[in-house]
Amino acid sequence: MNKEIIRDEALGEQYSVIHHSSGLDIYIWKMEGYQTTDAMFVTKYGSFNTTFRSAGEKDYTTVPEGIAHFLEHKLFENEDCTAIALYARTGADANAYTTFDHTAYLFSCSQNWDKSLEILLDFVQQPYFTQESIDKELGIIGQEIRMCLDSPDRMCFFNLLKALYSKHPIMIDVVGTEESIAKITPELLYSCYDRFYDLNNMFLAIAGNVDEDKVIEIADRLLRKCEDRKTETLIPEEPRDVAQKRIEDTFPIGLPLFSIGFKAPPFEGEERVKKNLACMVAMELMTGNLSPLYNSLLEQRLVNQTFGFDVMSRDGIFFASISGESTEPDKVYELCVAEIEKAKREGFDERHFEIIRKALYAAAIRELSSPEMVCSGLLANSAVAGVDAFCQIRALRDLTSEDCRLAVEQLLDAKYSAISIVNPKQ
């Protein structure tokens, strides 16, 4: 076991990274004077990871879509009881979730943090899958899938992904389909667990009212050293062009929904953080509540308050999107593209840029006073991205309006854009 101290001198903040002998990295951020504790036990395993192989294997294995999410549900149960029942004894609030690229098990508490941590480390390391329990879960997750299919916003978003990408597994819905999860067996769950719930592929983040020595003592006692499986996921090389420029669907809604996407090359590490931030600020400057475009669209009644934007960057993908409701989505698309081209030529108003940058910086500083945000927003998100927890704040400190203009020039090209529209069903 060895230890690093990661410190930001400007903030006067620091946290520890313990490289545990089991293979697990443990991120500990002690917050003096706080009563609550938040912890997350995370594996870098999500809906992307459907085709993979471990060290020494020649061929790739492909598993059903939605299996990472299914495994997350089943891991909350062991042979005797559920993890929720165990947490009830310590008073902790517990949950779990699965994303495109990771699965997290978490708790928050104001007392007995050490007992809750023992529960977390114990149940995540004790899989228990039977055909009977899988059959029971099929109905529960099947209902969740049907609820997702009943969401027009989700339909619009995933249709946009299908328009932008032709090979990358970003198109796979986290929950899978009823057909795909029906193929899941105990053997498949154990196989995926053994490959991806390898402590060398996981990390623990804990923040708030916590004692570092006690965390290490619990880890020494409960973590089970395992072989590094070195499991790699096959992610096909994605073409630069979009799969299709336009995709339309129907749903029983009052107004058409739209989502416009701009596909860009992917980035890694700190470069991904910087590009993501510059693009986010640029999108806020062009389409946010203070922008001339947004107010013009409102005045023309082309959009309403559902209008907004997002930037998504993961392994192998990077895209920005603009979404909302409109009776004329194609007109909105044209005006957004025109605003983007204007920003490329003229850049951004320096005063407007500083208002946005300082507001985001202030919000980032406020997160430092929340154990939940320190644990999930800083420690966990940065660990998944492969950067230190101060990377985003540093990038905000150094960001310039020219960085944002360059992000628009490099990342928002109408040639590599697509639009998803969900029309009201007649």
Where in the sequence numbering do the catalytic residues fall?
Answer: 72
* CA max distance for the chain: 65
Helices (H), 103-208: 113-124, 131-149, 152-164, 178-181, 186-196
3-state secondary structure 379-415: HHHHHHHCCCCCHHHHHHHHCCHHHHHHHHHHHCCHH
Distance, CA of 52 to chain centre: 20
Full DSSP string of 51-100: EEE-TT--S-EE--TTHHHHHHHHHTB-SS-BHHHHHHTTT-EEEEEE-S
Provide the β-strand partners of residue 50.
Answer: none
Beta sheet of 13-19, edge-to-edge order: 2-8, 13-19, 25-30, 202-208, 37-43, 103-109, 93-98
Provide the β-strand partners of residue 128.
Answer: none
Residue 120, classed as helix, strand or coil, is helix
- Cα separation, 402 vs 86, in Å, equals 53
- Counts of helices then strands in the chain (DSSP H, E): 16, 15
- How many C-beta atoms lie closer than 10 Å to residue 11's C-beta? 14
- Cα separation, 135 vs 10, in Å, equals 54
DSSP code for 172: S
- Residue with token string 């196989």: 191
Asked if 353 and 291 count as a contact pair (C-beta separation under 8 A), the reply is no
Burial class (CB in 10 A: 0-12, 13-18, 19+), 148: middle
Asked if 180 and 8 count as a contact pair (C-beta separation under 8 A), the reply is no
Angle CA(65)–CA(102)–CA(219) in degrees, nearest 5?
130
- Cα separation, 272 vs 268, in Å, equals 5
Asked if 309 and 322 count as a contact pair (C-beta separation under 8 A), the reply is yes
